[in-house]
Chain A
Amino acid sequence: MSAQKRKVVKERRLILKHADDPKYSNGISSYLKVGGYEMLKKSLKLKPEEIGEEVLKSGVRGRGGAGFPAGMKWKFLDRKSGKPIYLICNADESEPGTFKDRQILHKDPHQLIEGMMISAYAIQAKQAFIYIRAEFFEGAKILERAIEEARAKGFCGDKVLGSEFSCDIVVHRGAGAYICGEETGLIESLEGKRPNPRIKPPYFPAVLGLYQCPTIVNNVETLCNVRHIMEMGGDEFSKIGKPNNTGTRIWCVSGHVVKPGYYEFECGALTMGELIYDVCGGLLPGRSLQAVIPGGSSAKVLRADERFKGTLKDGSDFDWGIEDIPLDFDGPMAAGSMSGSGGVIVMDDTADIVEAMANVNAFYAHESCGQCTPCREGVLWMRKITKRMCAGDARQDDADLLLSVANQIEGRTICAFGEAAAWPTQSFVSKFREDFVKKAKNPKKKKGSLQLI
């Protein structure tokens, strides 16, 4: 891999434009200096539907993991019921490997508030909420202060900027569970209940959401994008990135690279290889790439020596190695995984695949809410199997059993947690079967603590 020959792609920072500027603070004065809240002023002069149209035109896709077009989501909103409409910002960032929203909340909270107020106006929300992950103590404080500042300046609260539109933002500290990030679980939690995800149908948030009222739940990064869409217009925004993959994305790289961190690029501007070797400084000396999880721990793992073949939506055939996968929404999807929340986890050849799998299983077994049978029982079973394997008691048929258990979970649960927990096992076991078989042939007890697996 000769990095010198390659043209290094430059970051394009849209969301995190000011975040790491040493002169920039998270106070409102900094934000106002860089043109903050101008887009809110502009938007309030438009009709709410016009903003919705711009967002639809921009093609911006949800940054929370599923990648559903935000403009479409807004269109599903039930406006005929006469019930109040709510906007919820999902700041319960808890997918392992993801740490992008945290940067926004800590370093540029006003950008989120402006994006939320524009969105709230667009959907005519009565009240907006930021549901922030319980562990983000500091983030919650920063947001509270920022909302106070914005309220003092009339950017949120009663009669925003003297207009007829009123909407306040409430910061709600999460309940300390991964499942609180699932939108209907989040809604239950916000209502003060156990965050058991709701069954869909009938409880689609756009129709029967918070307090059974129409509700929009958007990710932090998605809502920030709304501000930029209003700045440049939907059409102009849609020119960033690639068709169907518009805007920028923040990739959170963790694991065995020299420079882990968050990097914002135009969608599709670079490949996995460029991200790992050029942007992140490559692997540690003497190591070779073993696997990459491209979109947070629930995304299917990609094997370093795999070939990814198929036909793209535009009809062209592709034959990629792992380095060639374009980093946008559709690229990792074409490779059989997903870009998810943008959490790229890199594993070099020193990683024990079974232990990595055990760690992922431990996480999901700990986080399953316990509401529906397949997830509740299946995920803990998988955890017990992989833990046993790491404890030196692996068996020949464990790989098949794991795969079968994961298949019994996928597609049969109330929420997408079932898939989130089954996909890692399905992909790890089918792509690294020899590692699982080897564990049984040479049982070796893991040195050190088994606590995290």
Chain B
Amino acid sequence: MISKAKEKLITINLDGKEVEVPAGMNLIDAAALHGKEIPHYCYHPQLTVAGNCRMCLIEMGTPMRDRATGDPVLNEDGSPKIGWVPKPVIGCATNASPGMHVKTASDVVKGCREGIMEFLLLNHPLDCPICDQAGECRLQEFATDYGRGYSRYTERKNVKPKRTRLGPRVMLDDERCILCSRCIRFSQEVANDDVLGFVDRGSFSTLTCFPGKELANNYSLNTVDICPVGALTSTDFRFKMRVWFLKETKSICCESSAGANTIVSSREGEIYRITPRRNDQVNDSWMTDSGRSLYKSVKSDDRILHPQIDGADDSLENALNTSSGLLRDKKVAVVGSCRSTLEELFLLKRLSTLLKAKNFLRGHFGDDDGILQSADRTPNLRGALVSGFEKEYPSDNLKKLNSALKKKQFEAVLVVGEDLIASGIDAENLMGVDLIHLATHSNQTSYLAKVVIPLLSHFEKTGTYVNRGFYAQSFEQAVPGPAGLIPDIQILTKLISLIDPDCSISSNPAELWETMSKVRNSVLKGISFSDVRKSSIHLDGSNWKNLPFVEKKALHFEPLELSSD
């Protein structure tokens, strides 16, 4: 972050080829734009430049200028004469300037890389067979790509602690640490929790927590992600699974409205870890620790695995038929959840329109950490607004529903994903009301419900959330749902067609998006399912700029940016 890349493009000479790069961009990023890898360990695009690993050494020169006149010095053929810097320079701290010449594959550069690789491995324990990083380790990758392939080291290796607890979720293997200081810089610059530092010196330097401190902040596991080697490991993932067996699925963190982009890693239908996915508009390369443990609820004992009618397991068909019977021509309240996807909320809105029902939305709120855990602890409140399911901000949290139920204004309530009792609805108010509960996990509401229909969890379905910055972000199914269950959007389309056989609406996401984008005045106009699958799409949130959103200023988020949109 020595200098932010500017918009202006300039021309540099990269390995003999003239290429255009943004002015001021560092050479690692600039070369990457043109498909050239400059290997590096300590450099991270979202942290300050430390320049300590020396892996990104390259040769660099700039056009020479006459000292007296300031005119460019030319070669005999009229081309500008290049003044090569006599020593190799680090790509991470060298910013592109017009006419700069860069060699990323010369003999000098190769020699530098071989030397650095040899040095880094001198005191490295080479315990790849038992190392969790194996398979996604920069030391392994660069040793094969840029190393000599053999070692000349015959002395004794330094011995350091192998398992130091840095915090509740992070373990340190000091012998594997290459002292790149990424974790230290992350803690200082992103997590705002300066607890890590080096002690001792030279090759005996070790990473440590300051006395009386521990790495316990809600971002501690990001240090594990950015650790280029196996020094920092997650206590949750440690020794559980080899990374090359893992299937990676693009997902979105459903912890809060921040909507961090994630990768869900699974094998044979079981999730092993969640890690952040880089998105420079939303979460850079980070996510919360709390968001990483959400997958654990997928396998919990209270999952609803069968449809139920009056507390007894039944078939889905019967459950849907019973539900439609209970809802048709009744005074219905529909309770939606900000944890449902945009598609589900759109279908729920269709259903409630057919039922002439009144919609209620439940919000979940907490503290805002100013980074990636926002005060709105649901991933899709703005999706509820965009889908048209709700116009009001759910600040009152079903208080109105409670008083309406008390006044016996509703005969049936369709609840999707929320627990009415936990939301403050008095149980006696639900007496005599036909309750239909669509949920993933059983709770007090499902005990009271006449019909219970199981839903799939976030990790078992595909959908879209709209985050706090009005970015529509889609996520994919990571693991199959429990046997016999169907996706939530299919349940909702089936219910719709049972209520109104004439209403044909597809549960195919592509067709569903086509329908959604055609709604009059929709901010989704012109956006297709394949667009939103490709990347985050910024929606126009100006329609809702007067709503009392609770999120505070945070990473890539300005509360005021709504009104200027």
Using A374-B116, A384-B156 as known contacts, say yes or no to A368 and B202 having CB atoms under 8 A apart.
yes
Instruction: A366 to B204: give the CA distance in the assembly, Å.
Output: 9
Using A199-B51, A201-B93, A381-B122 as known contacts, say yes or no to A373 and B201 having CB atoms under 8 A apart.
no
Instruction: A374 to B123: give the CA distance in the assembly, Å.
Output: 13
Instruction: A366 to B88: give the CA distance in the assembly, Å.
Output: 26
Contacts of B94 in A (CB 8 A): 201
Which chain B residues in 180-228 approach chain A with CB under 8 Å?
Answer: 197-198, 200-205
The answer to whether A373 and B178 have CB atoms under 8 Å apart is: yes
Instruction: A373 to B56: give the CA distance in the assembly, Å.
Output: 12
B49 at interface (Cβ–Cβ under 8 A)?
A: yes
Using A199-B49, A377-B122 as known contacts, say yes or no to A371 and B87 having CB atoms under 8 A apart.
no
The answer to whether A414 and B122 have CB atoms under 8 Å apart is: no
Range of interface residues on chain A? 20 to 34
Instruction: A388 to B116: give the CA distance in the assembly, Å.
Output: 23
Contacts of B52 in A (CB 8 A): 196, 371-373, 414
Contacts of A378 in B (CB 8 A): 119
Contacts of A373 in B (CB 8 A): 52-55, 116, 119-120, 178-179
Instruction: A371 to B112: give the CA distance in the assembly, Å.
Output: 17
Cβ distance B45 to chain A, nearest Cβ, rounded Å: 17
Give a binary string over B107-148; 1 marks a CB under 8 Å from any A CB, 0 the rest: 000011001101110110000000000000000000000000
A370 at interface (Cβ–Cβ under 8 A)?
A: yes
Using A373-B120, A414-B51 as known contacts, say yes or no to A199 and B93 having CB atoms under 8 A apart.
yes
Instruction: A408 to B112: give the CA distance in the assembly, Å.
Output: 7
Using A194-B197, A401-B152, A412-B112 as known contacts, say yes or no to A199 and B202 having CB atoms under 8 A apart.
no
Give a binary string over B79-92; 1 marks a CB under 8 Å from any A CB, 0 the rest: 00000001110100
Contacts of B120 in A (CB 8 A): 373, 377
The answer to whether A365 and B153 have CB atoms under 8 Å apart is: no
Question: Given B51, B86, B122, B205, which contacts A370 in the complex, CB threshold below 8 Å?
Answer: B205
The answer to whether B118 and A194 have CB atoms under 8 Å apart is: no
Cβ distance B1 to chain A, nearest Cβ, rounded Å: 11
Contacts of B201 in A (CB 8 A): 177, 366-370
Instruction: A369 to B119: give the CA distance in the assembly, Å.
Output: 15
Question: Given A370, A388, A401, A411, which contacts B204 in the complex, CB threshold below 8 Å?
Answer: A370
Contacts of A368 in B (CB 8 A): 201-203
Residue of B whose beta carbon sits closest to that of A368 = B202
The answer to whether A367 and B202 have CB atoms under 8 Å apart is: yes
The answer to whether A376 and B53 have CB atoms under 8 Å apart is: no
Using A370-B198, A377-B119, A388-B155 as known contacts, say yes or no to A411 and B179 having CB atoms under 8 A apart.
no
Range of interface residues on chain B? 35 or more
The answer to whether B156 and A380 have CB atoms under 8 Å apart is: no
Cβ distance A363 to chain B, nearest Cβ, rounded Å: 11
Cβ distance A185 to chain B, nearest Cβ, rounded Å: 11
Instruction: A337 to B87: give the CA distance in the assembly, Å.
Output: 19
Contacts of A177 in B (CB 8 A): 201
Question: Given B54, B93, B178, which contacts A202 in the complex, CB threshold below 8 Å?
Answer: B93
Cβ distance B40 to chain A, nearest Cβ, rounded Å: 12
A77 at interface (Cβ–Cβ under 8 A)?
A: no
A116 at interface (Cβ–Cβ under 8 A)?
A: no
A30 at interface (Cβ–Cβ under 8 A)?
A: no
Instruction: A189 to B153: give the CA distance in the assembly, Å.
Output: 34
Using A384-B156, A388-B155 as known contacts, say yes or no to A411 and B87 having CB atoms under 8 A apart.
yes
The answer to whether B198 and A194 have CB atoms under 8 Å apart is: yes
The answer to whether B202 and A366 have CB atoms under 8 Å apart is: yes
**Which secondary structure dominates where chain B touches chain A?**
loop
The answer to whether A385 and B155 have CB atoms under 8 Å apart is: yes
Instruction: A199 to B88: give the CA distance in the assembly, Å.
Output: 13
Question: Given A199, A365, A376, A385, which contacts B90 in the complex, CB threshold below 8 Å?
Answer: A199
Using A370-B201, A381-B155 as known contacts, say yes or no to A412 and B93 having CB atoms under 8 A apart.
no
Using A367-B202, A368-B201, A371-B179 as known contacts, say yes or no to A408 and B53 having CB atoms under 8 A apart.
no
The answer to whether B203 and A377 have CB atoms under 8 Å apart is: yes
Contacts of B57 in A (CB 8 A): 412
B431 at interface (Cβ–Cβ under 8 A)?
A: no
A290 at interface (Cβ–Cβ under 8 A)?
A: no
Counting chain A CB atoms within 10 Å of each CB, the highest count among B87, B116, B158, B201 belongs to B201
The answer to whether B202 and A369 have CB atoms under 8 Å apart is: yes
The answer to whether B203 and A376 have CB atoms under 8 Å apart is: yes
The answer to whether B53 and A372 have CB atoms under 8 Å apart is: yes
Instruction: A199 to B204: give the CA distance in the assembly, Å.
Output: 22
Using A202-B2, A370-B198 as known contacts, say yes or no to A376 and B87 having CB atoms under 8 A apart.
no
The answer to whether B202 and A370 have CB atoms under 8 Å apart is: yes
Contacts of A401 in B (CB 8 A): 152
Contacts of A365 in B (CB 8 A): 202-203
Instruction: A219 to B467: give the CA distance in the assembly, Å.
Output: 57
A125 at interface (Cβ–Cβ under 8 A)?
A: no
Give a binary string over A344-376; 1 marks a CB under 8 Å from any B CB, 0 the rest: 000000000000000000000111111111101
Using A194-B197, A377-B123 as known contacts, say yes or no to A411 and B203 having CB atoms under 8 A apart.
no
The answer to whether A370 and B203 have CB atoms under 8 Å apart is: yes
Instruction: A369 to B200: give the CA distance in the assembly, Å.
Output: 8
Cβ distance A438 to chain B, nearest Cβ, rounded Å: 20
Cβ distance A371 to chain B, nearest Cβ, rounded Å: 5
Contacts of B118 in A (CB 8 A): 408
A413 at interface (Cβ–Cβ under 8 A)?
A: yes
Residue of A whose beta carbon sits closest to that of B124 = A377
The answer to whether B115 and A380 have CB atoms under 8 Å apart is: no
Instruction: A177 to B205: give the CA distance in the assembly, Å.
Output: 14
Give a binary string over B42-53; 1 marks a CB under 8 Å from any A CB, 0 the rest: 000000011111
Residue of B whose beta carbon sits closest to that of A413 = B54
A379 at interface (Cβ–Cβ under 8 A)?
A: yes
Instruction: A378 to B112: give the CA distance in the assembly, Å.
Output: 13
Cβ distance B443 to chain A, nearest Cβ, rounded Å: 52
Instruction: A107 to B442: give the CA distance in the assembly, Å.
Output: 84
The answer to whether A379 and B155 have CB atoms under 8 Å apart is: no
Residue of A whose beta carbon sits closest to that of B158 = A380
Give a binary string over A327-339; 1 marks a CB under 8 Å from any B CB, 0 the rest: 0000000000000
Residue of A whose beta carbon sits closest to that of B3 = A202
Residue of A whose beta carbon sits closest to that of B115 = A408
Instruction: A204 to B269: give the CA distance in the assembly, Å.
Output: 55
Question: Given A201, A374, A379, A384, which contacts B115 in the complex, CB threshold below 8 Å?
Answer: A374
Question: Given B93, B156, B179, which contacts A376 in the complex, CB threshold below 8 Å?
Answer: B179
Counting chain A CB atoms within 10 Å of each CB, the highest count among B57, B88, B115, B158 belongs to B115
The answer to whether A380 and B203 have CB atoms under 8 Å apart is: yes
Cβ distance B153 to chain A, nearest Cβ, rounded Å: 7
Question: Given A194, A202, A374, A388, which contacts B119 in the complex, CB threshold below 8 Å?
Answer: A374
Instruction: A202 to B93: give the CA distance in the assembly, Å.
Output: 8
Instruction: A351 to B52: give the CA distance in the assembly, Å.
Output: 37
Instruction: A199 to B119: give the CA distance in the assembly, Å.
Output: 20
Instruction: A174 to B198: give the CA distance in the assembly, Å.
Output: 18
Question: Given B2, B54, B86, B202, which contacts A379 in the complex, CB threshold below 8 Å?
Answer: B202
Cβ distance B61 to chain A, nearest Cβ, rounded Å: 15
Using A194-B198, A201-B93, A378-B119 as known contacts, say yes or no to A370 and B152 having CB atoms under 8 A apart.
no
Counting chain B CB atoms within 10 Å of each CB, the highest count among A367, A379, A381 belongs to A381
Residue of A whose beta carbon sits closest to that of B205 = A370
Contacts of B202 in A (CB 8 A): 365-370, 376, 379-380
Cβ distance A386 to chain B, nearest Cβ, rounded Å: 11
Contacts of B51 in A (CB 8 A): 199, 372, 414
Cβ distance B489 to chain A, nearest Cβ, rounded Å: 53
**A-B interface, 5 closest residue pairs, ranked by CB to CB distance from nearest:** A408-B115, A370-B205, A377-B119, A384-B155, A199-B51
Between-chain CB contacts (< 8 Å), 22 pairs:
A177-B201, A194-B197, A199-B51, A369-B202, A370-B198, A373-B52, A373-B54, A373-B179, A376-B179, A377-B119, A377-B120, A377-B123, A377-B203, A384-B155, A384-B156, A408-B111, A408-B115, A408-B118, A412-B87, A412-B115, A413-B54, A414-B54
Residue numbers of A with Cβ under 8 A of B are 177, 194, 196, 199, 201-202, 365-374, 376-381, 384-385, 388, 401, 404, 408, 411-414
Given A372-B54, A373-B116, A377-B122; 8 other pairs, CB 8 A cutoff: A370-B205, A373-B178, A376-B179, A376-B203, A377-B203, A401-B152, A412-B54, A412-B116
